[in-house]
Structure 1
Amino acid sequence: MSEPAIELVEMTKRFRNFTAVDRLSLTVQRGEIFGLLGPNGSGKTTTVNVISGLSRPTSGTVRVLGRDMLTEPRSVRRLLGTIPQETALYEELSAEANLRFHGDLFDVPRSRLPSRIDELLRLVQLEDRRRDRVSTYSGGMKRRLALARALLHDPELLYLDEPTLGVDVQSRRAIWDHVLDLRTRGKTVLITTNYLEEASALGDRLAIIDRGRLVALDSPQQLKSKYGDTVLDLVLEPAPSPALLVRLRSIDGVTAVNTADGTLKVNLTGDPEATGRVVTAVTGEAKLLRINQHEPDLDEVFLQLTGRELRD
């Protein structure tokens, strides 16, 4: 078995008295699309900065593409492609000029550069706009150009920070298709995102971190199935009391009870009688205005794991 693309062992990063990442251990396999999820302040950006060699860990081990980031950070950066949250393109230049500049920075051979630029502009469907100033591009076009730029030097590991932030639905789907295609080429992709739909659609596995600690790690489907087969969304009048929440949590078949945005969320196992027991308990105390039953999504998994919503 080949060496992992990323290996963190008890990695900790402190800033004076503040611990941004607390003994984080995880492994990303080569050829995997790996999602890193968490609310603002959870430690995602700090973790990625350490993986990218932009920050040194306070303690622990960090290996990327078989190299120790404490001793070989520069060699890793040459093998890493990034799309930061701020696209950071030269807007007064054309798409082609942006790519040529990046190619020179990463020592892409001059003999190969023109064909590589042609290939990537076709890939991201910008070939007919190659000579237009980037300032004339839409947000989705800029993100697609940023993807082409990140791929230009053929990196082994690609890091995408909120890859479809602020883009339209059509561009989002196009970027997803490009990212999924990278897996077929054997590339490793690390994605940080607050779009749960995106994480579920792209990630082979997802790590959820909160307050610098790992709280869950599994495939999207396994994360959903672990925390109940069904979710009941109930709107009550008045709002549920603390005593009712305690009562609901004691019901057989109930795996979690939370409130979010005025809605009572009850996670259930496959017990067919659990729904009836929940409704009986609720209507004994409050008026049931609305009820909806559905399969759990990653928002609800995160709420159950941390007690707060991902976009906090």
Structure 2
Amino acid sequence: MLLPVPALRVHDVHKSYGSHRVLRGVDLELAPGVLAGVVGENGSGKTTLLRILAGRLNADRGSIACGGGLGYCPQHPVLNPAFTVDQHLRFFQVAYDLPDLKRAHELLEILSFQGHRRHRVTTLSGGTRQKLNLTLALMHDPPLLLLDEPYQGFDWDTYESFWNLASTLRTRGRSVLIISHIAFDTARFDQVWRLDSGRLTQDTEHSTKAGR
């Protein structure tokens, strides 16, 4: 039986800032339909790694292979304060070349902020800005999702809705890689890596969905 082609394959990725070596040979392979997490202490390089995987930052050396399109949700929203929620959706509809906004409107309902569609970003709370940030990363339904602490500022109900959404994406064959600093989140993942001293190690208490 042929094994599925990995959605993401990372080999020997290094990154330094001056004399500070942040990543020291990171290896990672993510299969389709897997909900995975990268955990580690603050300052361990998790965000640097995700930015490299998303193509927002160059590695010093190493290779990254992505099987298709991706969606990237950075830790801090990058939004235009003068735009409304709807204007952001239309802008990204054009950028993604989408025929309609059906999926985006579904996400607004799932994340419970459909009532803010005509609100400008400057009037939104931090949690609602993060909902929009996440929606923009997911609205084109990419096969690979890279999410950097995507639930910051969410209330408990929205936090739970996010994890239900992540599980649905996994069931639909999407690969989801989440940066997390919350220890109890690890129980929600099929696969967990820990980033420490610039190296990524797999948590042996978790196994990939494919390996179960």
CA contact (8 A) 1:96 1:117 kept: no
Deviation for aligned residue 1:128:
3.3
Cα distance in structure 2, aligned partners of 1:129 and 1:45: 29
| Structure-2 residue corresponding to 1:266 | none
| Structure-1 residue corresponding to 2:63 | 61
- Where 2:161 maps in the other structure, the secondary structure is helix
| Structure-2 residue corresponding to 1:85 | 75
Deviation for aligned residue 1:219:
4.6
Cα distance in structure 2, aligned partners of 1:140 and 1:174: 14
Residue 214 of structure 1 pairs with residue 200 of structure 2:
yes
| Structure-1 residue corresponding to 2:87 | 97
CA contact (8 A) 2:84 2:121 kept: yes
Which amino acid is 2:49 matched to? T
CA contact (8 A) 1:144 1:175 kept: no
Q: 1:36 aligns with which of 24, 35, 38?
A: 38
- In the superposition, relative to structure 1, how do residues 146 and 49 fare at CA in structure 2: closer, same or farther (>3 Å)? closer
Q: 2:53 aligns with which of 32, 35, 51?
A: 51
Cα distance in structure 2, aligned partners of 1:50 and 1:114: 29
Percent identity over the alignment is 32
CA contact (8 A) 1:140 1:172 kept: no
CA RMSD of aligned residues (A): 2.3
Aligned counterparts, 1:141-156, within 5 A: 141-156=128-143
Cα distance in structure 2, aligned partners of 1:114 and 1:156: 18
Cα distance in structure 2, aligned partners of 1:117 and 1:213: 36
- In the superposition, relative to structure 1, how do residues 220 and 141 fare at CA in structure 2: closer, same or farther (>3 Å)? farther
Cα distance in structure 2, aligned partners of 1:90 and 1:102: 12
Deviations 1:151-207 (A, max 9, x none): 122211111111122322222112222222111121111110111122322x11110
Cα distance in structure 1, aligned partners of 2:11 and 2:21: 16
Cα distance in structure 2, aligned partners of 1:7 and 1:53: 14
- In the superposition, relative to structure 1, how do residues 221 and 152 fare at CA in structure 2: closer, same or farther (>3 Å)? closer
- In the superposition, relative to structure 1, how do residues 32 and 120 fare at CA in structure 2: closer, same or farther (>3 Å)? same
Q: 2:105 aligns with which of 118, 135, 149?
A: 118
Aligned counterparts, 1:287-302, within 5 A: none
- In the superposition, relative to structure 1, how do residues 217 and 133 fare at CA in structure 2: closer, same or farther (>3 Å)? same
- Where 2:186 maps in the other structure, the secondary structure is helix
- In the superposition, relative to structure 1, how do residues 55 and 129 fare at CA in structure 2: closer, same or farther (>3 Å)? closer
CA contact (8 A) 1:35 1:206 kept: yes
| Structure-2 residue corresponding to 1:20 | 22
Residue 205 of structure 1 pairs with residue 207 of structure 2:
no
Cα distance in structure 1, aligned partners of 2:163 and 2:25: 31
Runs of 5+ unmatched residues, structure 2: none
- Where 2:43 maps in the other structure, the secondary structure is coil
Runs of 5+ unmatched residues, structure 1: 66-75, 223-312
Q: 1:178 aligns with which of 161, 165, 183?
A: 165
Deviation for aligned residue 1:148:
1.7
Deviates more, 1:16-25 or 1:126-135: 126-135
Structure with the bigger RCO (C-alpha within 8 Å, sep 6+) is 2
- Where 2:47 maps in the other structure, the secondary structure is helix
Q: How many residues align?
A: 206
| Structure-2 residue corresponding to 1:163 | 150
Which amino acid is 1:188 matched to? S
- Where 2:157 maps in the other structure, the secondary structure is helix
CA contact (8 A) 1:100 1:113 kept: no
